[in-house]
Structure 1
């Protein structure tokens, strides 16, 4: 059974989901700020995205490089919970989160504690060779954990053929095969990306995934490379668009948000909505 968000009125229209890249958290090599400052910046960015017209916010610890594989420390879980609670109190639009790398159980627990609607999960089905090493599927364990802690209402969006990964172990499978497997393993949505952060997904692959899942409740999301100029190429093939690079200054994910670029993206989405 899919979670509530996948069937909610939110998906009566196509969604723009803006990324908040939380500054490096305590204990990670790039950490230079105390937690209160990290929370303040995350809240400011979430409020800016809401004011710009984004439908949802996604919170991610992307500055925590190099990432740990699957298991992160209690300091990360505690810090992400503090960030998410502060964001929830500051904005009215829904939000979700991801904890890198592949710390999906931790993300579910933070989502439950903070009131998040969704988690983005990597390594949901099949094995990949990620930056962090070989990452095996955790769908069976993850969904049992979600049910055990009473979090079935939290939506799972699963990356397929994930960026920053080698897929040689599954080279005999195409992206549609993996999308079918993710559906069979009860995910709520699949995320299609380019090869790395900021690079666009293949329009042909996105359309193929959408066509393959058209008779299911599974949503299709684009997870990288969306801009005002290419949004129309994906509009009919996706239900939501996760953006984290374009609206930053210079279009680079590490930079602060550029309000003008954020507004341009929302304007492009609204223009396409008006044509529907």
Structure 2
């Protein structure tokens, strides 16, 4: 596991879903950047108080999604995260959907420890033909002077179907070997939906040298099964009020989940 987790086992990363950023269709012009920062700060506080091991900032609200980040949105997300860095007490990461180079750039600007993205593969998706720029992202990590930034490779994209017909375990091994993945993430078909346990097991058995995380759909009912296989999980939707992705983080849900995780470590 990564050194910034201080040897913790079965790591839980909680999501701070930033509101829609400037330049995107759902952006709240009236509330502006102040509202984005205030809501993100509240979610950050709830996650930290609830005992998660790390947090990750993402732009899930920038629907419909784009495969190339607008410059203004990259600047706005960097500003939100930077404004909150003095309140962050845990290792943190960033993820700009669905642009790996932009995600690395935001990480470099904010001091993030890790990035989550789709780095490899070819997909038919809601956004059209999806061909990520893994090479560009790793070169950006080098050129921006953040060689220690960890890259978490989501290998089965939500909202998409892979055109690569290789078994998932082989794609995971390939991503580690040929594309230098620091960790492998396994997802369900859409945000908040769990991955098949068999898929998670397949990847964990295929990849021994890097951590494997469940990326979507982990909840109080399935976390024991998930962590019996995975090294950790990323949790967003389950931590929200009513289990709704677009609601605020519910502190009680976070505490209950982390109490359960404590019994599994």
Task: Classify the TM-score, shorter chain.
Answer: over 0.9
Instruction: Give 1:9 deviation, angstroms.
Output: 4.8
Determine the structure 2 residue equivalent to 1:175. Answer: 168
SS at match of 2:75: helix
Kindly provide the CA deviation profile for residues 191-213 of structure 1, in whole angstroms up to 9, marking residues without a partner as x.
10111111111111111111111
Q: How many Å separate the matches in 2 of 1:119 and 1:135? A: 19
Kept in 1, the 8 Å contact 2:95–2:115? The answer is: yes
Kept in 1, the 8 Å contact 2:113–2:149? The answer is: yes
Kindly provide the CA deviation profile for residues 137-178 of structure 1, in whole angstroms up to 9, marking residues without a partner as x.
4222221221122111111001112221112x11x2111011
Kept in 1, the 8 Å contact 2:187–2:216? The answer is: yes
- The TM-score with structure 1 as length reference comes to 0.91
Kept in 2, the 8 Å contact 1:125–1:181? The answer is: no
C-alpha RMSD over aligned residues: 1.4
Give structure 2 stretches of 5+ with no counterpart.
none
Determine the structure 1 residue equivalent to 2:258. Answer: 266
Report the CA distance shift for 1:134/1:37 in structure 2 as closer, same or farther (over 3 A): same
Determine the structure 1 residue equivalent to 2:191. Answer: 197
Q: How many Å separate the matches in 1 of 2:135 and 2:14? A: 29
Give structure 1 stretches of 5+ with no counterpart.
none
Determine the structure 2 residue equivalent to 1:116. Answer: 112
Q: How many Å separate the matches in 2 of 1:133 and 1:10? A: 40
Determine the structure 1 residue equivalent to 2:17. Answer: 21
User: 1:68 aligned to 2:63?
Assistant: no
User: 1:150 aligned to 2:142?
Assistant: no
Determine the structure 2 residue equivalent to 1:30. Answer: 26
Residues 93-172 of structure 1: matches in 2 within 5 Å?
93-101=90-98, 103-122=99-118, 124-167=119-162, 169-170=163-164, 172=165
Kept in 2, the 8 Å contact 1:125–1:178? The answer is: no
**Matched residues, number:** 262
Runs of 4+ in 1 over 6 A off after TM superposition: none
